[in-house]
Amino acid sequence: MPTGTNSPLQAVLFDWDGTLLDSFDADSSAYLAMFHELGIPWGLKELAIHYTPNWHRVYRAAKIPRSKYEIADKLWAKNYSHHAPKLVPGTRSVLAWVARR
């Protein structure tokens, strides 16, 4: 954390995942469960090869028909909701520092 400056912060922008929150386990588990429910034989290896934050690209790589994207979204969200991603260590102290500024 920077020190020695007294100027007030105007804005703070965080990339959520991997910066404040570690959602890899929740995200990958939700994908794998969704693939299973759709009958797609993908595992972590395939997901790692094709993963991108643009989930439609993942869907295309998994050969999910566009007509099933809405179903895939709902299945992913349902499965993700069963997880509680953890904060990255140090997140609370950084956010507290930002709040004081």
Overall pTM > 0.95: no
Q: What pLDDT tens digit does each residue of the chain (101 aa) get? A: 555 666 777 787 777 777 888 888 999 999 999 999 999 999 999 999 999 989 999 999 999 999 999 999 999 999 999 999 889 899 899 889 888 87
Inter-residue long-range contacts of 91-95, CB under 8 Å, 24+ positions, other chains counted:
91/20, 91/21, 94/1, 95/20
Between helices 69-80 and 24-37, what is the axis angle to 10°?
130
Torsion from C-alpha of 24, 54, 11, 21, nearest 10 degrees = -10
Domain-by-domain residue ranges, the chain?
Answer: 23-83
